[in-house]
A and B are shown apart, each in its own frame.
Chain A
Amino acid sequence: MSDWQPSALQLERTAYRRSRARRSTAIAGISSVVLVVLVAVAVGSTPGWPRVRETFFNVHRGWEALPVVAQGLWLNVRVMLICAVLIVILGMTLAIMRTLRGPIFFPLRVFAAAYTDVFRGLPLLLVIFLLGFGVPALQLRGLPNQAVIWGGAALVLTYSSYVAEVFRAGIESVHPSQRAAARSLGLSYRQTLRFVVLPQAVRRVLPPLLNDFVSLQKDSGLIAVLGVIDAIRAAQLETAVDFNFTPYVVAGLLFVALTIPLTRLTDWVARRQGWYGGGGGVV
């Protein structure tokens, strides 16, 4: 350690920065409180508010519905986790297929391109209906006919087309000089992809990838249309008892509670990427 003592000038700067920081915090706090009060007053003064509060924000009704809805949510979580693994595998496979070179891989490239074109274009709900009602209707033996499996399959098919494009963007973002360096050392095309390109590509696309999984978490609720009792469907059943919509709000809050940790994780990963090039600084 050196015997450095901050100069008077530096002390003055530090004090100034601290006072600015305090001022910013105060302004942020005041503006937030003002906004919340304004919104509360505006909504609370509408003529229909008492009724809306009773129908959507009934605390007692919400508490009652919580266990059932939470049980439904557990299904969402399992569907989401299993689908996420399959999506990463299928998405990566498709992305690699699209970047393969050489005439022998032509059919694979075309297949991967067609696949992403089709499944990114088709509305997810339609794919869920097609698989969930269509495939069991074929009455093929040996195929499972649980709605949850086909709903999950629809999620995997649709999401892997998005994830494939994310991976492909990552693969193509690795500078050609990295490939040149790897090939110059004698690494084959496959080895270059495996040890040089993919590790860099995956690190770069982690934030958008996690973003897709936040989205998947919510869309796992869509399999409710097949009659699977997930959080949304459980809320719907609860609602049918007395036409109080609070269970839906409960389901919504639970989804948000589930998504927030993943969103924070995404932010954290994105920030940590600082190690990769571009090093920090104040701007």
Chain B
Amino acid sequence: MSLLSIREVRKTFGANVVLDRFSLEVEAGECVVLIGASGSGKSTLLRCVNLLETVDDGVIELDGRDITDPRIDADRVRSGIGIVFQAYNLFPHLSVLDNVTLAPIRVHGVPRDVARARGLEMLDRVGLAAKASSRPDDLSGGQQQRAAIARALVNSPKLMLLDEVTSALDPELVGEVLDLLRELKTDGMTMLLCTHEMAFAQDVADQICFLDAGRLLESGPPSQVLQNPTQPRTQEFLRRIRL
């Protein structure tokens, strides 16, 4: 059974159909990369999986449990999924360490000193132990994004969602974030991410999905989708971004 099973999901904003009968299976330990033009529904899909948006139809199952059922405890589901945003979304009034320990202390009831020890461990892992007491605004973009990844990881999520996490970074800083994600993948973390970094997608993805106008147009291993795309729309997209 898949860890994450998305079936026939539909999501609209007003008259705009953002996701249209979208289906996708993600196995445990797998890294699935969503590619496609801006507005193709990649971010919305991630937000639906994290229950930040309510789907208009269809089912999303995590570990065999229907999380689109309005009767479930959404806060619990969310705390089992880590999400990292394009704009980091760190809390500017808290130190880096407090950003990381907020959820363990307040949501999971971890004692403060245990949470801090674990938070420091996480920050050390992303190479930010020295910045634990800094404010997010005093960090570079790459450091902020790594702090955001540490914040998501500290909850020991079953699934990580990464929404164009390198789009706001300059090329030099992209590398440090991507290296971290590669390590996560090696550790067996299940990841669903969208990116415009095709080389990274090629390198890290087990499965690549090409989205177009809210539909899954083509999916398969990178060698197939990136090297030998069958759909004209995919071919056109890849040709354009490689220019």
A residues sitting closer than 8 Å to B (CB atoms) are 177-178, 180-188, 191, 195-196, 199-200, 203, 275-277, 279
Rounded to whole Å, the gap between the CB of A194 and the closest CB of chain B is: 9
- Asked if A185 contacts B103 (CB within 8 A), the reply is yes
How many chain B residues have a CB neighbour from A under 8 Å? 29
B151 — nearest CB in chain A belongs to which residue? Answer: A185
Of B2-10, B73-81, B212-220, the one with at least 4 CB within 8 A of chain A: B73-81
- Asked if B79 contacts A181 (CB within 8 A), the reply is no
- Could you list 25 examples of A-B contacts with CB < 8 Å? A177-B87, A178-B89, A180-B52, A181-B90, A183-B78, A184-B50, A184-B52, A184-B78, A184-B83, A185-B78, A185-B102, A185-B151, A186-B76, A186-B78, A186-B80, A186-B103, A187-B107, A188-B75, A191-B107, A200-B91, A200-B93, A275-B135, A275-B137, A276-B93, A277-B137
Give which listed residue, B81, B92, B106, contacts A276 with CB less than 8 A. B92
B148 — nearest CB in chain A belongs to which residue? Answer: A181
Give which listed residue, B75, B92, B93, B135, contacts A186 with CB less than 8 A. B75
Bound CA–CA A219/B106 (angstroms):
42
Bound CA–CA A277/B137 (angstroms):
7
Residues in A with CB closer than 8 Å to B135 are 275
Given known A-B contacts A184-B83, A186-B107, A279-B137, A177 and B75 have beta carbons under 8 A apart: no
> How many residue pairs bridge A and B at CB < 8 Å?
69
Residues in B with CB closer than 8 Å to A195 are 102, 106
Given known A-B contacts A185-B79, A188-B75, A275-B137, A180 and B106 have beta carbons under 8 A apart: no
Bound CA–CA A186/B102 (angstroms):
10
Rounded to whole Å, the gap between the CB of A280 and the closest CB of chain B is: 12
Rounded to whole Å, the gap between the CB of A180 and the closest CB of chain B is: 5
Bound CA–CA A214/B89 (angstroms):
35
B79 — nearest CB in chain A belongs to which residue? Answer: A186
Give which listed residue, B81, B82, B93, B106, contacts A191 with CB less than 8 A. B106
* B210 interface residue (CB < 8 Å to A): no
Residues in A with CB closer than 8 Å to B50 are 184
Q: Which of A178, A183, A200, A276 has the most CB of B within 10 A?
A: A183
**Ranked 9 nearest A-B pairs via Cβ:** A186-B79, A181-B89, A185-B103, A186-B107, A184-B83, A177-B89, A199-B93, A186-B78, A188-B75
* B23 interface residue (CB < 8 Å to A): no
Residues in A with CB closer than 8 Å to B78 are 183-186
Residues in A with CB closer than 8 Å to B94 are 199
Residues in B with CB closer than 8 Å to A183 are 52, 75, 78
* B85 interface residue (CB < 8 Å to A): yes
Residues in B with CB closer than 8 Å to A196 are 91, 102
Give which listed residue, B47, B92, B107, B137, contacts A185 with CB less than 8 A. B107
A177 — nearest CB in chain B belongs to which residue? Answer: B89
Bound CA–CA A268/B7 (angstroms):
56
